[in-house]
Amino acid sequence: MVSLAAYLQWLGEWHWRPNWSFLTPALRSEMLRFIGFGALGGFALQMASKIDIFMVGSLGTLKSAGVYAITAYMATAIDIPTKSLYAASASSVAKYLADDNRPEMERLYQKVSINLLVAGLLLFGAIWLSADSLFAIVPNGAAVSTGKYVLLFIGLSRIVEMGTGLNNYMVYYSKYYLWSLMSLGILGIANVMFNIWLIPRYGMNGAAISTLLSVTCYNA
Domain annotation covers residue 61: yes
In total, how many domains does the chain have? Answer: 1
Domain annotation covers residue 81: yes
Which stretches of the chain drop beneath a pLDDT of 70? Answer: 1-2, 4-5, 7-9, 11-22, 38, 41-42, 44-45, 48
Domain annotation covers residue 6: no
Domain annotation covers residue 10: no
Please state the three-class secondary structure of the chain as a single string: CHHHHHHHHHHCCCCCCCCCCCCCHHHHHHHHHHHHHHHHHHHHHHHHHHHHHHHHHHHCCHHHHHHHHHHHHHHHHHHHHHHHHHHHHHHHHHHHHHHCCHHHHHHHHHHHHHHHHHHHHHHHHHHHHCHHHHHHHCCCHHHHHHHHHHHHHHHHHHHHHHHCCCHHHHHHCCCCHHHHHHHHHHHHHHHHHHHHHHHHHHCHHHHHHHHHHHHHHHHC
Identify the pLDDT of residue 52.
Answer: 85
Domain annotation covers residue 99: yes
Domain annotation covers residue 198: yes
Domain annotation covers residue 28: no
Domain annotation covers residue 55: yes
Q: 86 is in which domain, residue-wise?
A: 51-219
Identify the pLDDT of residue 203.
Answer: 92
Identify the pLDDT of residue 59.
Answer: 85
